[in-house]
Structure 1
Amino acid sequence: SHVPGARRIEALNPSQLLKSVKNAAEAGNIRAAMAQDGAALCAFFAWFEAAQAAGERITEIDVDTHLSAARARRPDFVSLSFATIAGFNANGAMPHYRATDASHATIQGDGLLLIDSGGQYLGGTTDITRVVPIGTPSAEQCADYTTVLQAHIALARARFPEDTPSSVLDMLARQPLWRRGLDYGHGTGHGVGYFLNVHEGPQSISVRGHARPHQGMKAGMLTSNEPGLYRDGHWGIRIENLVLAVPVERTEFGTFLAFETVTLCPIDTRCIVQERLSADEIAWLNTYHAQVRDRLLPLVDGAARDWLLERTEPL
């Protein structure tokens, strides 16, 4: 019932914005959690590539099992942040595909394997997608992969005034796809909680987002960068890292933010059509891989270390 003299306010719960902006201590813990997650991924991919080379029969279910076990071995791991999506070829073209005991693919022959996964650590929440070649991917698959990588890099390199509506940034990632007459049906980025929800607002880098006041980008927001491309019935590609908005410059036009990529895991270079990349794009990828190598080397050994060194070789 309405109380006389009371003013009713219909607005976003203020706690959402407070949760979305990570403080310096949280940001430091998130960076450490990302390194542990990256080390788990190195161990997983080293196992996966060795098993593939040995001719072992590996299914999408096995990917989930082995990747979850690699994460569980890391310090401060609590649980998965969502159910692992491992989709080979046509299954990868379904953005929310989930392999089940009754229906899943064996990873064999030629094509692309998409793996979208994440963990909850005491120091933060992770969410990462990588696509790896199986056998010999086609020229068209490599062209698509390169375009998605260009989309990812375009958003990763963004620089924008604080309070820019998050939805506005979506177009940066779509440009490389739109130039080829391509598109994808999901948003490019969602907010991520701090040891909380893997999808958490209020910011949303999406063409379907509205430029409402609470959609403004603030320093400290942790958001995904995950453009994709899906050929129905054939293959799917998505390259996802989490990015932290950080202040980079203050001018007479205000405070400008940029994205610090905090996810640490090599982006597979075997599908890249290098002549399609600009010098700036190659420089971004090489710098990222140098950081990944530097941060993860102290946390891995044996086959995982060898895999990390091989996959972070500069272009």
Structure 2
Amino acid sequence: MSKVETIKERLAAVRETMAKTGVDIYLVLTNDYHISEYSGDYFKEREFITGFTGSAGTAVIMKDKAKLFTDGRYYVQAAKEIDGTGFELMKDGSVGVPSVTEYVEQQLSDGACIAFDGRTVDARMGLKLLDIAAKKNATINDDFDAIAPIFESRAPFPESKAFYLDEKYSGATIKEKLVAIRESLTKANATCHIIASLDDVCWLFNIRGNDVWCNPVIMAYAYIDESKAILYTDGDRFNDEILAKFKECNVEIRPYNSVYEDAAKLKGKLLLDTKRINTRLYNICNANSDLTCIFKENPSVLLKAIKNETEIANLKSVHREDGAALTKFIFWTKKAVKEGKQITEADAAEYLDSLRAKISDYIELSFDTISATGPNAAMMHYHATKENASVLKPEGMLLVDSGGQYLRGTTDVTRTFALGPVTEEMKKCFTLTLKGMLNLSNARFLHGCNGFSLDILARGPLWNDGIDYRCGTGHGVGYLLNVHESPNGFRWKHIPGVNDLAVLEPGMVTSDEPGVYEEGKFGIRIENEIVTKKDYDNEYGTFLSFDNLTMAPIDLELVDKAYLDKTDIERLNNYHATVYENIKEFFEGEELEELKMATRAI
């Protein structure tokens, strides 16, 4: 049976269950039970029912309609993958396209039923749906899952072993982090706190695991009050070293699912983050008459975003080796294609991944390597497989977005480089992208700015030419955690309460990655990681700037100086001089000469 026919059959089975149980609108989200951006294979219900393999999207299924909502990163990919399945693409974020909740409200009739698995819906969305239902005298079923009974080949629930991240990498003990959380609770007038977000839990207890591909976390919840902490997960995950660390800090381990039962018995003033807790857990806490819920962001979100001195030193160290590996890959690819070797996008990605794996404290990739040429590069999150990969030709460009997870931190870098002759349009778009990337990374700004304040620096050169890209300019990056980390980032469009950004603080690591994506033609992205640092104080306040962490050359073959001014050229030359000094020790002989040429002043 073809993929299209399989999806149609699954959709029919789901609708049959909906009809039997009186469900009119069924929402299937991408989330796991912790509202993670990326979820393990066990949680791929939305992919199972739609056929869309991207990392973000929501299916809305009704008796006679089925919609897939996804954002601008995936418009092209989603349209291809759901073609003919019975699902229609809703381009979330485009003019005239309603949000998921707006669409549900439009479609909901009086007395109807909205259903979803409350463990996969964040509390903010759950509350919106509750309000929508109340307007239409409708009902909510938040304990509904019509896919589980037909998901026969479902992966097992993740249960990887955890490992301890030593203080020489983390820069702080569990005890010190618990003290910081408890101080934050006191300031918020709270006496206790439940954490459901996996990266926050793992950061707090200095543990990492392998429950989610490319995100070194374990499935767990946490509870903290003035005297104790509870970690809800499988105790068999931990070795004696970790158990001893927990005992020192009065950390108790309880079964994973018992957090729901315990939440119903809590007393006090509970701090909850409605963005990062699922609807089911929220409802239990909110219904507990012995609890007063205080709705604030997890204190750990900001605490872990501000990297300490140890973490920053480690990041600078690993970025040198990571950048050297990427540079060697670029040299190898250009040479192999020029010599006429048969290399596909997937072959190129595999070779780069193999170079990263040789770095001493490498653990895994930080996401699946994106290796894309020609029209494929216009799909922001395209992933080449052995079956669909295009052959690299001695013309045009190759876009490679990649990164690694190391004990010394997380890397994320994109380089677009020429494989042969390129068009004037490609050079122009590349150079305007470069100009924006350099503008942002060289910014000096007053403390109090956030990513909304600075996004125009990266986007401006493209906007001046009537070009834009349908995504943010940058995201926070975790430390051996999620490659996409709140609360810092760069973007221009602010939706209050949905995509808020924190004030930029010294120690925050953020990506700087403008780009151009011409559907059916080509894609360009240039991405560096940058870390915020303090410059000086004066009568106007505290001035901040950025240090580049990423150390890899920009392809000068794609640079058209006609679009650069004197400052742009000076910035590019300074960056290349820094790259050369930081990674030259990893090169010798012919490769060293290539590095000198790649980082030469223009």
* TM-score of the pair, normalised by structure 1: 0.96
DSSP 3-state at the match of 2:483: coil
Match for residue 33 of structure 1 among 295, 311, 318: 318
Structure 2 partner of 1:153:
438
Q: Does 1:200 align with 2:471?
A: no
DSSP 3-state at the match of 1:130: strand
Q: Which structure 2 residues correspond to residues 50-65 of structure 1 after superposition, within 5 A?
A: 50-65=335-350
Contact 1:22 1:221 in 2 (8 A): yes
The one-letter amino acid of 2:340's match is: G
Contact 2:396 2:422 in 1 (8 A): yes
1:19-55 per-position Cα deviation (integer Å, ceiling 9, x unaligned):
1001111111000010010111122122212212221
Report the more deviating stretch, 160-169 or 127-136: 160-169
Structure 2 partner of 1:120:
405
Structure 1 residue runs without a partner (length 5+): none
In structure 2, do the counterparts of structure 1 residues 209 and 193 end up closer, same or farther at CA, with 3 Å as the change threshold?
A: farther
Q: Does 1:285 align with 2:285?
A: no
1:132-152 per-position Cα deviation (integer Å, ceiling 9, x unaligned):
112100111101111111111
Q: Does 1:255 align with 2:255?
A: no
DSSP 3-state at the match of 2:293: coil
Q: Which structure 2 residues correspond to residues 293-308 of structure 1 after superposition, within 5 A?
A: 293-308=580-595
The one-letter amino acid of 1:25's match is: T
DSSP 3-state at the match of 1:250: strand
Structure 2 partner of 1:84:
369
Structure 1 partner of 2:450:
165
Structure 1 partner of 2:523:
236
The one-letter amino acid of 1:14's match is: P
Structure 2 partner of 1:141:
426
The count of residues paired between Structure 1 and Structure 2 equals 314
Contact 1:42 1:305 in 2 (8 A): no
1:84-128 per-position Cα deviation (integer Å, ceiling 9, x unaligned):
001101111110111112211101142111000001111011000
Contact 1:167 1:215 in 2 (8 A): no
Report the more deviating stretch, 173-182 or 45-54: 45-54
Structure 2 residue runs without a partner (length 5+): 1-286
Structure 2 partner of 1:275:
562
Contact 2:487 2:501 in 1 (8 A): yes
- Rounded Cα–Cα distance in structure 1 between residues aligned with 2:568 and 2:355: 31
- Rounded Cα–Cα distance in structure 1 between residues aligned with 2:495 and 2:307: 23
The one-letter amino acid of 2:549's match is: V
Report the more deviating stretch, 103-112 or 90-99: 103-112
Note the C-alpha offset of 1:177: 0.7
1:174-195 per-position Cα deviation (integer Å, ceiling 9, x unaligned):
1101100111101001000011
Note the C-alpha offset of 1:165: 2.2
DSSP 3-state at the match of 2:417: strand
In structure 2, do the counterparts of structure 1 residues 307 and 8 end up closer, same or farther at CA, with 3 Å as the change threshold?
A: same
- Rounded Cα–Cα distance in structure 1 between residues aligned with 2:495 and 2:447: 17
- Rounded Cα–Cα distance in structure 1 between residues aligned with 2:328 and 2:428: 28
Q: Which structure 2 residues correspond to residues 62-81 of structure 1 after superposition, within 5 A?
A: 62-81=347-366
Q: Which structure 2 residues correspond to residues 14-25 of structure 1 after superposition, within 5 A?
A: 14-25=299-310
DSSP 3-state at the match of 1:201: strand
Note the C-alpha offset of 1:159: 1.4
Contact 1:87 1:99 in 2 (8 A): yes
Identity of aligned residues (%): 40
In structure 2, do the counterparts of structure 1 residues 23 and 209 end up closer, same or farther at CA, with 3 Å as the change threshold?
A: farther
- Rounded Cα–Cα distance in structure 1 between residues aligned with 2:414 and 2:553: 11
- Rounded Cα–Cα distance in structure 1 between residues aligned with 2:397 and 2:472: 22
- Rounded Cα–Cα distance in structure 2 between residues aligned with 1:111 and 1:49: 11
The one-letter amino acid of 2:311's match is: E
Structure 2 partner of 1:110:
395
Report the more deviating stretch, 158-167 or 246-255: 158-167
DSSP 3-state at the match of 2:480: coil
Q: Does 1:184 align with 2:469?
A: yes
Report the more deviating stretch, 213-222 or 76-85: 213-222
Note the C-alpha offset of 1:302: 3.8
DSSP 3-state at the match of 2:317: helix
- Rounded Cα–Cα distance in structure 1 between residues aligned with 2:393 and 2:518: 19
Structure 1 partner of 2:381:
96
- Rounded Cα–Cα distance in structure 2 between residues aligned with 1:209 and 1:159: 22
Report the more deviating stretch, 37-46 or 283-292: 37-46
- Rounded Cα–Cα distance in structure 2 between residues aligned with 1:249 and 1:211: 31
Determine which structure has greater relative contact order: mean sequence separation of CA pairs < 8 Å that are 6+ residues apart, divided by chain length: 1
Contact 2:337 2:394 in 1 (8 A): no
Report which of the two structures shows the higher radius of gyration computed on alpha carbons.
Answer: 2
DSSP 3-state at the match of 1:203: strand
Note the C-alpha offset of 1:167: 2.0
Runs of 4+ in structure 1 over 6 Å off: none
Match for residue 132 of structure 1 among 401, 404, 417: 417
Match for residue 245 of structure 1 among 498, 514, 532: 532
- Rounded Cα–Cα distance in structure 1 between residues aligned with 2:576 and 2:496: 34
- Rounded Cα–Cα distance in structure 1 between residues aligned with 2:588 and 2:407: 23
The one-letter amino acid of 2:483's match is: V
* TM-score of the pair, normalised by structure 2: 0.51
Note the C-alpha offset of 1:253: 1.8
DSSP 3-state at the match of 1:160: strand
